[in-house]
A and B are shown apart, each in its own frame.
Chain A
Amino acid sequence: AQSVTQPDIHITVSEGASLELRCNYSYGATPYLFWYVQSPGQGLQLLLKYFSGDTLVQGIKGFEAEFKRSQSSFNLRKPSVHWSDAAEYFCAVGVKNRDDKIIFGKGTRLHILP
């Protein structure tokens, strides 16, 4: 069965430091991959997505992610975090069968130290 794993439940980084959030998926074919962000008390907002083509994807708010088929990974990166990046981040994989469903990871909560 398809699955998404985010190994880190919480991550703390200092403001201005670089960030990498990990995501691994289990899926037999080329996946559709997403990263969403959820600020406290809000819904989810799409950061970026990968469907095909260039494996390095640029998103909003200065985020990028790289699809690595050999590692079944889609890690999210940002070179320098800002205090406003404190939020919960969800990786998700689209399942290509008759349904248009997306399977979400359990999320990584990012804390920023001043």
Chain B
Amino acid sequence: DVKVTQSSRYLVKRTGEKVFLECVQDMDHENMFWYRQDPGLGLRLIYFSYDVKMKEKGDIPEGYSVSREKKERFSLILESASTNQTSMYLCASSRSGRIHTQYFGPGTRLTVL
């Protein structure tokens, strides 16, 4: 079974703090994704990565950056957290080469005060 884990289920940070959200997958997937989920807006893609050290902007990259130093790990970074980044953050991974099922982690509920 594919397993995608996220470092925290719940996180509370203050405005202006630098925040790291970590995601690890154990299935040797090439692709990894970061989404944020807000009520009424569904899932919105922040960043994705097709390979180590590769990254592509999604639909809402502003205020975020990512890092992929190892194939199994994909980090989302909020350089200076703001209250409008309070949200549920979901990480996913998939095989590459064509459209494949994305497997999701349990999510991190981030609150920025």
Q: How far is the CB of B5 from chain A (nearest CB, A)?
A: 10
Per the CB 8 Å criterion, the residue count for chain A at the interface is 24
Chain A interface helix/strand/loop/mixed: loop
Contacts of A44 in B (CB 8 A): 43, 90, 92, 104
- The residues in B between 35 and 73 inclusive whose CB is less than 8 angstroms from any CB of A are 40-43, 45, 48, 50, 56, 58
Per the CB 8 Å criterion, the residue count for chain B at the interface is 28
Give the complex CA separation of A42 and B88 in angstroms.
Answer: 10
B94 touches A (CB below 8 Å): yes
Q: Is the CB of B42 within 8 A of A49?
A: no
Supplied contacts A43-B90, A100-B97, A100-B100, 6 more A-B pairs, CB within 8 Å? A43-B105, A46-B103, A100-B94, A100-B99, A104-B43, A106-B40
Q: Which residues of B contact A (CB under 8 A)?
A: 4, 31, 33, 40-43, 45, 48, 50, 56, 58, 90, 92, 94, 96-107, 109
